[in-house]
Every structure is written in structure tokens, then in C-alpha cells.
Structure 1
Amino acid sequence: MKKYFTLYWPGLQNFHLTKDVGLIPYVFQKHLNYEVSILCGKNEEHYDEVFTKNITLNFMDDEASVTSLLQKTDILMFIGLYDFNLNMIERFKSVNPNGKIYLKLDLNRYWLNRITFNDRSINLLSNNSLVSVESKNLKKIIDDTWPIKVEHIPNGFYDFFDSPLINYKDKENIILTVGRLGSYEKATEIIMEAFKIASEKLPDWKLKLVGPIEPGFNEYINNYLYKYYPKLQGRVIFTGPIYDRKLLMEEYKKSKVFCLTSRVEAFAQVFGEAAFNGNYIISSDVEGAIDITDDKKYGDIFQINNFEELSKKLISTCSNEKLLEQVCNDIQINTRDNFEWIKICKKINSFF
């Protein structure tokens, strides 16, 4: 008899479905033989049929249907230690006292400092519960300071295309970044300023930026390319957003170095995408960087906002062909062994 796995995520939108929010339910349904539902608001006219195939979306239109689903759910998953989640955990336990809880913290160092516990939250998360954090550095802090047990379970990568290992010889001299370009959190200007400095020492390299551009960032781009550094035209390339996942993976496959300059992350999805496709990863010192680089074995880490330090790391890394080729192979194997979503979900399931 199949077991029931339910995700409670009231704000579900299509962009969530390709992230951990959507991929964990997807894997539990497709690979672990669970009946899967998502409790959510109807926030899209149409949800992506690829990611919601054989998954029931319960839009919480009436209390009776919600209660019925909670009563038959074996594992109820939550993301984030928020009051609305604690309220649903309380409701779940009242109608299904034997049900199991999985709380994925989706935590960065700034949220960690804001979290407090009381008797109610400790009680709700202490019985029949798995609580996990994505990064090793936060796990160490939590172990020393929290009144509940927390496991380390990182974010991962799901291979939709049964991809073979990538040959380094098929890659190009490209530094890649992917994200919401120009947003404060992503700090895109840091990689652009670093590449401006490094470009003189790396004449055969290009910087490629993939993602939607924040409207307020266009002026910065125009000044950068046409007023201050016109020599970088043709070497700093903006592709715009790439929504087709196969085409996006092609960008990762072609690049040798992936750079993340974020000011804050819990465990960026792009880490798994870059590592799976054989990129040497240079990241700001955010959560997940130590994990995905295996303590800088497969990449390097620079101080947040420090574009001068980043420029030096770009020069030393991109000038070391032997290092890039070795990491290209090794990081692909490490990602398949330790950051593959099917294996991660099997680990989650093993706790229940």
C-alpha cells in the first residue's frame, strides 16, 4: 500500500517547482512510490504539467478537504520555521497524531540569528519529526545552541536528461553566473567589477550572465559597457533569462568557471547545477559554498562584496588549466555521489 507525502506551501508558484520546493515532492512521487499532494493557494492560472504530473494540488478551497488530506498523510513537509507552518503542524497533529513531520529550514546565517524557541515550538518539533538544515556551517552552530535535533541535508541537483559526464575538452573559456541580475541579494556588480580587473590578464576569457535583469540595473550595464569599459563589449555577454532547462544546462556545460557573488543564500540551486556540469565554483562566503566545494577542494571562496579579492581568484584559477581540467571531472563525480536529489530524498525517507 502506498504511503502519502504532502507538502504545505501556501505560496506555490511555477518557479518553485524547479527548486527544492517542487523537486522533493516530485522525487517522492516518481522514484519513492508515494502518493504526493501539495497544499497551496491557487497562485497560478496553470501549473507546469511536467512537475505536477501525478501530484495532487489541493488549493485549500474548503476545510473538509484539507482535514481529509491531513488525516491520510504519512509525512507532512514544511519549508522554513514560520508561524504559519507551526500552526499547520499543530493542526496536523490534532487530526493525525501518528503523522510524521519534515521541516526543511531553508536557513541562512541572518535568519538563524532571528529564531527563538518556546515550549510550544519545541514540543511541536520534538516528536515524530525530522528537521534539517542545508549547510554544514549552520549545522555546527545549531548543534551548540538549539534545543532540538537537526540533521544536515544539503540541496541537490536533478538530472532530467540522463546526462553523461562532460569532457573538459568540450568546454570554453567562459566564466558563468546565473540569477536575478542586478538584485541586491545577487550582487551582480561584484562579478562585473572583478572581471573588469581580471580581463587584462585573461584576454581569451568571456563573462556570461544568464537571467532576468532588474530594471534599475540597466543604467549600470550601459555605463559599464558603453561609457567606462567599451573594450569589454563582446566579452561581457547578457543572455537574458533561459527558461528551457535543456538550453540552460548547455550554458553550464560550455563554461569552465561558475561564479556566485550573492550577499545571502541558504543553499543556492545554481550550486548543484554548476557542479553537476563540471564547473570550478568560485563563490562568496555564503551558506552552501563550503558544502558544494567540499571545503574548497572543488572551488574557492571570497569575502562577500570584495571584488578585488574575487578578481585575483579569477586570474589564478582561469590561468591554471590543469586545475580546471581535474576539478571538471572530480566535481561531477562528487555531485552525483553526494548531491543527487534521488539519493538525498532516499536519505530523507530513511528517517521515517
Structure 2
Amino acid sequence: MKKRKLVLVFNDVERVHLVKDVFLVPYYLGKRLDMEVSIVYPPTETNVDLPSSHRGVKLIRLPKGRYPITASLWLMKYAKEIDILMQFHFRNRVTLTTFVYKFFNPKGVVYCKSDGLFCFEPFISIPKSPLLKFLYRNYMRSVNCISFELKDALYMAQTKSFMGLSLKDKAVYMPNGFDEEDFQQSGVRERAFSEKENLMITIGRLGTYQKDTEMLLDAVADIDLKDWKIMLVGSIEEKFKSKIEAFYQMHPEKRYSVVFTGPVYDRNLLYDLYSRSKVFLLTSRFESYAIVLGEARRFSNYLVSTPVGGMSDRIHDKGQGSFVEIENSESLTSVVEDIINGHLDISKVSNDNLSWDELVKAIRLPGFN
């Protein structure tokens, strides 16, 4: 019997997306519904080396041209063959491609994976263009299910109307998950707390304004780390490298206890880092949804984070993590010292079931549930 088809149309697919929700949600949703899955994307200078398929998912490159026009033309040709159209976020281009899909396949099902509150900006400020008004209203009526990464975004979607239309019966909560299948195939050993190292890690684009890596360095500058190590994993902004060297010159004793590893692209090495570490640190000024928090929680890391990126959704009680104030290094110093000195019990962090296999069950689609 011929399988039904699920297609994600997305405006920016790079190799890095093959380990993120852009790939993993359609992959796991298609696996659950036993569907043929394809991801359709425009070509760029940096994605020319993408394979034609990955883990059974077809990766279809659009012709060169202006997006979303190229996507709309592709949908005109193939809409009738698509049973579920998946898209990300509320954007003008998404309303256009949804309109084209539903025009050529009125019985087709539409699913949108959204993120945080800022996704509602187009609806809160009603567009002046009559065409955009039409497209947004059409989109609100056409979409069958919208999942939100954050609970406060879900609450807004369920309690407010947008352009006179309600999303209450279409909105569901689905946080970002973990690629359990990939981990189980990795061969990396998952460590119990007693086997973990006295290790704190952070992962991200270090030195960017968003990540506020300065806050972390300021916080640990005068701390006696004892037998603890802090590893900062990720690419380093060029302008930040001088600050790192200045930190080591002022605190030479920390050159081997506060370590910048550079980027780690090997997922097995990242899994091993999470498994070895006891604490995950996040000092961001802002995040939509910090995927690293969910990954760290999967390996029972105690979370120490600013109140961003779904942190409040990850922390159910004091034993799971601690909040620190944005741009407040003293707040972080206090928590880190409490951990090192044994004043905080970090040994009882629960291992949340964040497998995408389970999370995609929240997606409710007519004719597929």
C-alpha cells in the first residue's frame, strides 16, 4: 500500500538542521504516522552539499529563485500529492505557501510548529496590507494544529483571539525534545550521578551578546573551583578571544579549570559531555527555546540558567535547578559556590522523558490520530 506523504517546506535548511527540530519533528512525526517524509528547501551557498536523503527523509532542493515564490510554484505542482503540509512559525511566507497548498488541495492537513511569544507579533499588530490581512485570516482558518515550545505562548494562543479568530482548539504544547534514537545508536554510556565528574558545561555561540559569556567569566573569576572544572563548548566570536586571554592573564590558575574547547560537531562527543557533567550553565540575555536545556536535562544535569528559553518549563522544583538573574554575575557566583561547597543537593535531578517519539503524540491532526 502506498504511504501517505508529509512534507515540510522550510526557508532555510543547513546541515546543522539535521540534528535539530527542523529535521527531527517531521522525521519522528512521519515515523509515528508511518508516512513518507520530505523536506523542501531553497538552495544557498552553504547547503549545496546536503545529501538527497537523510535517515529515510527525502531532502528536495528547490530551483534557484526568489523564496517563497519557488516554494509556491513547487506546491502548485505537488500539493495534491501531499497529505500533511508542515511549516515553522508565523511568517508572511508561511501564510502564502499555506494558501497555495490549500487552494490546490482543499482537503490537505496543515501543521505548524511555532516557538515563543514573538511569533504572534504579526497578529497583535494587524497588517495594513489587504493582501496580508487576507493571507493571515486564511492561514488561521486553514491550519489544523499549532504546537508551541513554551507554556506562556500556549496560554496566549488559547486565551486571546487574533484578527477575530481563535486558536484555542488548535493549539497544543510540545517542548523541544531529544533524539533518543540517535543516542541509543551512538554507543555512548549514560552515567549515573555517582559516575559523573565534577564538571559544569555550557554550550553555545560563545562571546555573542545573546549568550553573555562575560557573565560566566566574571562569576567564576574569584571562585575557588577546588576539584571542579568548567568547560565552555562552542564557536568563539573573534572579538571575544582577547577577553578570554585577559581572563587567563588575571587568573592563570584557571587556565586548566575553565576550558574553552571550541565547537564540537560530533554528536557522540556532545552526548559524552552531557553524560559526564553534573551541571549545565546558561547565561543568555534572551532565548526563544534553548534546546541545550532539554538535552542537559535528559542526562540529569542540574540546570543553572537565567529565566529564558523555557527554563521555567524545565524546572519543577528547587532540586532540578536554580535561576540566576540576567546580567548578574554575583547571582551566578552564589549558585556556583553553593554547588561546589555542597550547599545545594544536585544529585536528584530527574531524567525527563523528552524523546521526540513521545512528544510528537501531542500533535493532533484530523484523520491521523
User: Do the aligned partners of 1:183 and 1:214 also contact (CA within 8 Å) in 2?
Assistant: yes
Instruction: Report SS of the residue matched to 2:347.
Output: helix
Q: Is 1:189 paired with 2:191?
A: no
Q: Is 1:143 paired with 2:158?
A: yes
1:215 pairs with 229, 235, 238, which one? 238
Question: What is the CA-CA distance between 1:297 and the residue it aligns to?
Answer: 4.8
Question: What is the CA-CA distance between 1:216 and the residue it aligns to?
Answer: 1.1
CA distance in 1, matches of 2:92, 2:25: 22
User: Do the aligned partners of 1:101 and 1:129 also contact (CA within 8 Å) in 2?
Assistant: yes
User: Do the aligned partners of 1:29 and 1:55 also contact (CA within 8 Å) in 2?
Assistant: no
CA distance in 2, matches of 1:9, 1:26: 14
Taking structure 1 as reference, are residues 146 and 185 closer, same or farther at Cα in structure 2, changes over 3 Å only?
farther
Taking structure 1 as reference, are residues 314 and 278 closer, same or farther at Cα in structure 2, changes over 3 Å only?
same
User: Do the aligned partners of 1:195 and 1:207 also contact (CA within 8 Å) in 2?
Assistant: no
Which residue does 2:82 correspond to in 1?
A: 73
CA distance in 2, matches of 1:129, 1:208: 43
Question: What is the CA-CA distance between 1:102 and the residue it aligns to?
Answer: 1.1
Map 1:123-162 onto structure 2 (within 5 A). 123-147=138-162, 148-149=166-167, 150-159=171-180, 160-162=182-184
User: Do the aligned partners of 2:280 and 2:302 also contact (CA within 8 Å) in 1?
Assistant: yes
Instruction: Report SS of the residue matched to 2:7.
Output: strand
User: Do the aligned partners of 2:172 and 2:362 also contact (CA within 8 Å) in 1?
Assistant: no
Taking structure 1 as reference, are residues 128 and 215 closer, same or farther at Cα in structure 2, changes over 3 Å only?
closer
Question: What is the CA-CA distance between 1:128 and the residue it aligns to?
Answer: 4.7
User: Do the aligned partners of 1:27 and 1:345 also contact (CA within 8 Å) in 2?
Assistant: yes
Taking structure 1 as reference, are residues 15 and 304 closer, same or farther at Cα in structure 2, changes over 3 Å only?
same
- Matched AA of 2:281: C
CA distance in 2, matches of 1:48, 1:173: 40
Deviations 1:45-72 (A, max 9, x none): 22257x7232222222277654333221
User: Do the aligned partners of 1:8 and 1:76 also contact (CA within 8 Å) in 2?
Assistant: yes
CA distance in 1, matches of 2:345, 2:259: 25
Instruction: Report SS of the residue matched to 1:325.
Output: coil
User: Do the aligned partners of 2:206 and 2:236 also contact (CA within 8 Å) in 1?
Assistant: yes
User: Do the aligned partners of 1:136 and 1:290 also contact (CA within 8 Å) in 2?
Assistant: no
CA distance in 1, matches of 2:3, 2:272: 37
User: Do the aligned partners of 2:115 and 2:150 also contact (CA within 8 Å) in 1?
Assistant: no
Q: Is 1:232 paired with 2:232?
A: no
CA distance in 2, matches of 1:296, 1:92: 47
CA distance in 2, matches of 1:297, 1:113: 35
Question: What is the CA-CA distance between 1:250 and the residue it aligns to?
Answer: 0.7
Taking structure 1 as reference, are residues 291 and 71 closer, same or farther at Cα in structure 2, changes over 3 Å only?
same
Q: Which runs of 5+ in 2 are unaligned?
A: 64-69, 127-132
1:301 pairs with 319, 323, 331, which one? 323
User: Do the aligned partners of 2:183 and 2:271 also contact (CA within 8 Å) in 1?
Assistant: no
Taking structure 1 as reference, are residues 110 and 196 closer, same or farther at Cα in structure 2, changes over 3 Å only?
farther
Deviations 1:104-139 (A, max 9, x none): 1222x4555565344641332234521121111232
Which residue does 2:61 correspond to in 1?
A: 59
Taking structure 1 as reference, are residues 284 and 232 closer, same or farther at Cα in structure 2, changes over 3 Å only?
same
Question: What is the CA-CA distance between 1:296 and the residue it aligns to?
Answer: 4.8
Map 1:225-304 onto structure 2 (within 5 A). 225-226=248-249, 228-294=250-316, 296-304=318-326
CA distance in 2, matches of 1:171, 1:100: 46
Deviations 1:257-308 (A, max 9, x none): 0011112212111112111111001111113101122355511222221111
- Matched AA of 1:103: C
Instruction: Report SS of the residue matched to 2:287.
Output: coil
Taking structure 1 as reference, are residues 113 and 123 closer, same or farther at Cα in structure 2, changes over 3 Å only?
closer
- Matched AA of 1:24: V
Instruction: Report SS of the residue matched to 1:183.
Output: coil
Taking structure 1 as reference, are residues 146 and 17 closer, same or farther at Cα in structure 2, changes over 3 Å only?
farther
Question: What is the CA-CA distance between 1:165 and the residue it aligns to?
Answer: 5.0
- Length-normalised TM-score, structure 1: 0.89
Q: Which shows bigger deviation, 37-46 or 314-323?
A: 314-323
Q: Which runs of 5+ in 1 are unaligned?
A: none
Taking structure 1 as reference, are residues 297 and 86 closer, same or farther at Cα in structure 2, changes over 3 Å only?
farther
Q: Is 1:101 paired with 2:136?
A: no
CA distance in 1, matches of 2:273, 2:40: 34
Q: Is 1:178 paired with 2:179?
A: no
CA distance in 1, matches of 2:161, 2:309: 18
Instruction: Report SS of the residue matched to 2:87.
Output: strand
Question: What is the CA-CA distance between 1:211 and the residue it aligns to?
Answer: 0.7
Residues paired across the two proteins, number: 340
CA distance in 2, matches of 1:145, 1:304: 29
